[in-house]
């Protein structure tokens, strides 16, 4: 699609553009992509958000071993490795790392950046249930983030700017959702790889360019006749993190002729199901969208809401199988991967395949065998 080519070109020069913006005085705000960071606050302060979503490579994971014992989540170790290796400009140029603190794996990223580098880190806690107290704690946290951003940028956040940012981010979410819903069709008009690519791009691209690209993709998809041909089993891909560049599992699934038609990940994929309600107090509206209404990851307890959501997605998208792709040592997901399969089978009759990765190339062979066997067993 032409729009995707345009977006791809934009991303190729994005780092240079970011550097120019930084030289002009704009602040670059890096953040961990767990879905709890309201980018709207960054835009409303005239700063630029950059989601740190790179992954899939083993070298940074190994490199992080000099700073952190290996028994933490692979993606989180990679975020430490990328920073310490100093090779990726987008990790080097951030003026502030904002960390919505979801669990100890993410805390490890914040702490290593704080201890071993000069980059300033701002943490705000994500409580692990949805009580009123937890909501208020999150709201308080994003208010502190707002103050921090204002002081860092020297720009006071006014209501008009925040409203404008909310509208822009809402539009992005609406479009991602619209495209995602088209994948419910028996002949999904977009491949999983393209959709994930769009989603990942949204963490890095200029928001206006991104929205424009999504509008074009949406229009093109509606015009597309005939739709892509889909014959293989339909897959729900879920797990802890799907980082940009971590496409090994997708390739293996594609090679078997199966197709991922919906994804649900705690980190790495932008959550697009809900929008911010722009009425009333904007900060409360952000907390309502990002904390209260967002389907929580496995580190919530109880964690049932997400499992029920997965079952709903499996039904809505008429999938034939569920592949649980998690990264090593993300223990909350390990727990759920034990008791979710019987729930899934009871509700949908589907079986689940669990795959665990440490971003190691040597995993490909065993993964291929397991994925191929699984797809063979579910093939209609």
- The binder of other proteins chosen from 5, 13, 20, 339 (CB under 8 A): 339
Task: Rank residues 299 and 359 by Cβ distance to other proteins and give the closer one.
Answer: 299
67 contributes a contact to other proteins by CB under 8 A: yes
Task: Rank residues 288 and 356 by Cβ distance to other proteins and give the closer one.
Answer: 356
Question: Contact 314/299 with Cβ under 8 angstroms?
Answer: no
128 contributes a contact to other proteins by CB under 8 A: yes
- The binder of other proteins chosen from 58, 92, 125, 155 (CB under 8 A): 125
- Cα four-point dihedral sign 286, 261, 265, 119: negative
Place of tokens 């702490």: 111
Task: Rank residues 93 and 144 by Cβ distance to other proteins and give the closer one.
Answer: 144
Taking CA atoms, 31 is separated from 96, 110, 151, 193, 270, in Å, by: 8, 10, 17, 24, 13
- Cα four-point dihedral sign 251, 257, 261, 266: negative
Minimal distance in Å, beta carbon 340 to other proteins?
9
335 contributes a contact to other proteins by CB under 8 A: yes
309 contributes a contact to other proteins by CB under 8 A: no
Plot region of 329 (φ>0 → left; ψ -120 to 50 → alpha; else → beta) = left
334 contributes a contact to other proteins by CB under 8 A: yes
- The binder of other proteins chosen from 17, 57, 95, 140 (CB under 8 A): 140
At 170, list the tokens. 């809402």
Tell me which residue of 107, 98, 162, 101 sits closest to 137, measured CA to CA.
Answer: 101
The span from the CA of 12 to the CA of 15, in Å, is 7
Among the residue ranges 134-142, 232-240, 250-258, 287-295, the one whose residues contact other proteins (CB under 8 A):
134-142
Minimal distance in Å, beta carbon 111 to other proteins?
5
The span from the CA of 365 to the CA of 289, in Å, is 41
List contacts with other proteins (CB under 8 A). Answer: 66-69, 71-72, 101, 103-105, 107-108, 111-112, 114-115, 121-129, 133-134, 137, 140-141, 298-299, 301-304, 328-329, 331-332, 334-335, 337-339, 356
């Amino acid at each position: 699609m032409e729009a995707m080519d345009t977006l791809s070109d934009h991303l190729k020069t994005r780092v240079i553009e970011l550097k120019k913006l930084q030289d002009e005085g704009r602040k670059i705000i890096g953040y961990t992509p767990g879905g709890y960071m309201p980018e709207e606050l960054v835009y409303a302060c005239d700063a630029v958000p950059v989601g740190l979503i790179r992954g899939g490579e083993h070298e940074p994971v190994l490199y992080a071993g000099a700073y952190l014992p290996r028994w933490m989540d692979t993606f989180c170790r990679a975020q430490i490795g990328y920073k310490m290796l100093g090779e990726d400009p987008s990790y080097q140029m951030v003026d502030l790392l904002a960390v919505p603190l979801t669990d100890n794996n993410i805390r490890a990223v914040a702490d290593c950046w704080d201890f071993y580098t000069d980059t300033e880190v701002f943490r705000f806690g994500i409580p692990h249930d949805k009580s009123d107290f937890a909501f208020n704690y999150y709201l308080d946290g994003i208010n502190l983030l707002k103050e921090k951003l204002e002081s860092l940028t020297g720009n006071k956040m006014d209501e008009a700017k925040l409203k404008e940012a909310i509208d822009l981010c809402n539009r992005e979410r609406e479009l991602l959702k619209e495209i995602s819903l088209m994948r419910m069709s028996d002949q999904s008009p977009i491949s999983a790889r393209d959709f994930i690519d769009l989603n990942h791009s949204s963490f890095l691209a200029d928001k206006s360019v991104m929205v424009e690209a999504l509008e074009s993709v949406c229009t093109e998809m509606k015009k597309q006749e005939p739709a892509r041909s889909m014959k293989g089993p339909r897959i729900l891909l879920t797990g802890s993190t799907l980082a940009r560049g971590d496409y090994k599992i997708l390739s293996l699934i594609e090679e078997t002729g199966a197709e991922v038609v919906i994804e649900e990940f705690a980190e790495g994929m932008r959550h697009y199901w809900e929008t911010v309600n722009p009425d009333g107090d904007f900060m409360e509206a952000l907390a309502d969208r990002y904390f209260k209404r967002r389907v929580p990851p496995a580190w919530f307890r109880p964690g049932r809401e997400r499992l029920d959501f997965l079952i709903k997605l499996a039904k809505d998208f008429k999938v034939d199988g569920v592949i649980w792709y998690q990264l090593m040592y993300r223990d909350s997901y390990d727990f759920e991967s034990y008791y979710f399969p019987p729930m899934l089978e009871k509700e949908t009759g589907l079986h689940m395949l669990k795959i665990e990765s440490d971003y190691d190339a040597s995993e490909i062979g065993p993964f291929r065998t397991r994925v191929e066997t699984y797809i063979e067993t579910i093939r209609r």
